[in-house]
Structure 1
Amino acid sequence: MAEAQQGPRARYREQTRAEIKEAALRQLAEGGVAALALTRIAKDMGLSGPALYRYFGSRDDLLHALIRDAYDDAASAIGAAATRSVAAAQSPRERLHALAVAYRAWAVREPHRYLLIQGAPVPGYVAPADTLDRARAVLGPFLPVFAGGTPGAGVAPVVAQMAAWLDGDPAVCGWVAEYAADAAGPAGAAGALAGALLAWAQLHGSVGLEAAGQFEGMGHSGGTLLDAQVAMLADTFGLE
């Protein structure tokens, strides 16, 4: 409906911006962020440099758009997995596995986009403020999975630090409440936050290595490694 209400000029602008982003993603896939060059994109599209800058004012402006899109797509994939999991009445352990599989599937399907948001920082680049909210949308579905868990003694220091973080940061409290409003169990919201944090750390460790091609030539599957990590994390938090 919104697109239908746009005039021809606005539709053309959005179409051109989308084409520029697609060209940029091809460059990322070929050579990473270092390969991203607005002059090359303009040449490939038959635009002059000044013409391209009417759509994206700088390389960082284009990176902003690519990073926002990547976070939004990742959040959509994981959110969809969470919805399916809840609809199927899966157990917390099964839900954790479903989310982890969705996280890995998105990353290995589009490793250049995963590495853009989770890989090495771009020198001199400062991400927009709304990146934080988008990153939290990716992790949000993990919070209710851990909300009713029973964290083991080994992660007690992490839970304690998360409790202190919740006490001192209303924005984090709001984020946790948005996804796990009925957090219960021995650790409550702090346990949910600790679980989501540890899930992110473990998933990024294995998935990031796989997306970067570090598992090539090794005698294991990234999926098998992920299954083992998820099982250990579920055991640590007493997820049934």
Structure 2
Amino acid sequence: MPAEVAAPRSGRMARIVERLRDRGVVATLRKAFADKVFRHSTSVMIELRPEWHQPGRNEIRPDWLSFAVARQPADLPPLCDWMAWRRGDFRDMLNEGKVGILALRDGMAVGCAWFSLSDHRDTRSREFYAVGPNEAYHYCWMIDPALRRSNIALPFGRFMLKTLSEMGIGRRFGLVDRANRTSYVLQARFGYRECGIKVMHYVIFGSRWTRIARYQGVLGPLARAAR
């Protein structure tokens, strides 16, 4: 009898297998619990205005690094394995009028950031953010974890801000998880500041809920990071 050939794993199953291999059973179960049963996090809204921008100096960057701007689905470059399963979401965002800025390794996307140039609504997390004229709301900013020590983040951020300026965007704003110190520090280097709005995210048995509140002062390490 011919040897049986295993059916190829679906994208979801492949990610589970990879997570089990990389993180182990306990960490994988912990993430599954957070994704499907209960999770809570708090983010703060940060913003950058032209008069606050700190361009900084050029830094060492990989020779293979380049950038692309996507405004329609046909603009999407090939995606690395870590991002490939998001291609459908990226196409949907482009069809909704979002703009994607991508970091490329030899022509393949290994990082991205997305921008709403008009009011941003996320029905899954029940979030809505008003975006005024000459403003951009940024979200889904990520880099392949395998390349996060490859000096991508700073030149990528610099390219994003330059591109938005060339598009006539003044105020740029988005959310940063309070636990994500690396992202705080990176954006503080460009001049971002907290603007007194915090967003609490909840996942309860697979449903996402969001609560928005105002505060005074600084909740995260932005002030310390900017020194």
Say whether the fold is shared (TM-score over 0.5). no
Name the structure, 1 or 2, with higher relative contact order (CA <8 Å, separation 6+). 2
Question: Of Structure 1 and Structure 2, which has the larger fraction of its residues in helix?
Answer: 1
Give the structure-2-normalised TM-score: 0.26
Question: Of Structure 1 and Structure 2, which has the larger fraction of its residues in strand?
Answer: 2
Which structure's CA Rg is the greater one? Answer: 1
